[in-house]
Structure 1
Amino acid sequence: MRIDVVDNHGQFTHLEGRVLRDIGVETETIDNETPPEEIDADGLVLSGGPDMDRAGRCGEYLDLDVPVLGICLGMQVIADELGGSVGNGEYGGYADVTVEIVAEEDHLVGSLAPETRVWASHADEVTELPEGFERTARSDVCGIEAMSDPDRALYGVQWHPEVAHTEAGEEVFENFRSVCETR
């Protein structure tokens, strides 16, 4: 089992790899300009980052037919590439947020129901879901905190599950590993 982390120049990218290693997953952090044909992984994590314009080839990775977990900017890239919308959030900086899980059957975040505390930035956020996606979590500061398209095994969370401030972050990675193992 190998899940690679795609580096979108975020400040927490190295922590995503560490959490994956901690739960027993082989992982490598790869540059977001890596040609898709050079990627040999059972799943991908699209890391957070500062700017959609610096997301490299992330959109191409959605066609690799492996499960993808987008974190913050990674989620926004998935939405943008597949016809959703991304806009400015009403709440800018990082904050501790209570997230309500609205899809208890969801493979990625359903086990966190009914709610969880997370560390998130809302400078930008998904404002409209792409076709085929379901909203799986919301909060008082963001209408779409998480999204899921289980048919294509594409998932996104606005928050950072890799940081210590997030209550059940490791569980998100464990759930994603399970998705990758059963795909």
Structure 2
Amino acid sequence: MKFFSFILILGLLMGPQLYAQDAPSTREIGLRASDLNSFGLIYKKQISENTYRRYRLAFGNLGVNFIRSNTLVGFSAGGAMGKEKRRPISDKMQFIYGTELIASVNLNYTSAGSITVDNGNGGTTSYTGSDLLIVTPSVGIGFVLGAQYNFNPKWYISAELIPSITGSGSFGAGSALYSFQAGFNSSSAGITGAYRF
């Protein structure tokens, strides 16, 4: 838990320094999809020539289920912030690369029953009890690699991969489960359509 707190504090301390630069006013907003069921918002602000600060709201879900006398509640949210650089390939095509700090949190609650948590390594861990709350924060770094095609000065489409290294922990029911993951899967690949203003 101290590791997650350290990363969060480091990001908050570095944030104002990263934004204090005198920057052009170009901004971009778009929709990113990693499959037909997974969409997120992306916002980019130019901080120098061919360099952008990027923010992704990767996901947010809330689910409530009632099964007999049991109530199951699940909440998850995550996002990323980072820096992106662009290198021209042709008049309309650019190579994009950079890094992101990725963070997420999952909360699961059951009034009487069991909760199964993905341990991030291809397996699951189950917790059983009443009034059971499991909190799973995660933090990591992602590496952005992709290409962008500019239709005109206002619209573009990009395709990117974001392989990542993350650490997470699940806390509750008097126990803790820690995990570490590295690599990428289909959710790390995405297509973005964006508007520049």
TM-score (norm 2): 0.23
Instruction: Indicate the structure with greater strand content.
Output: 2
Indicate the structure (1 or 2) with the bigger Cα radius of gyration: 2
Higher relative contact order (CA 8 A, sep 6+): 1
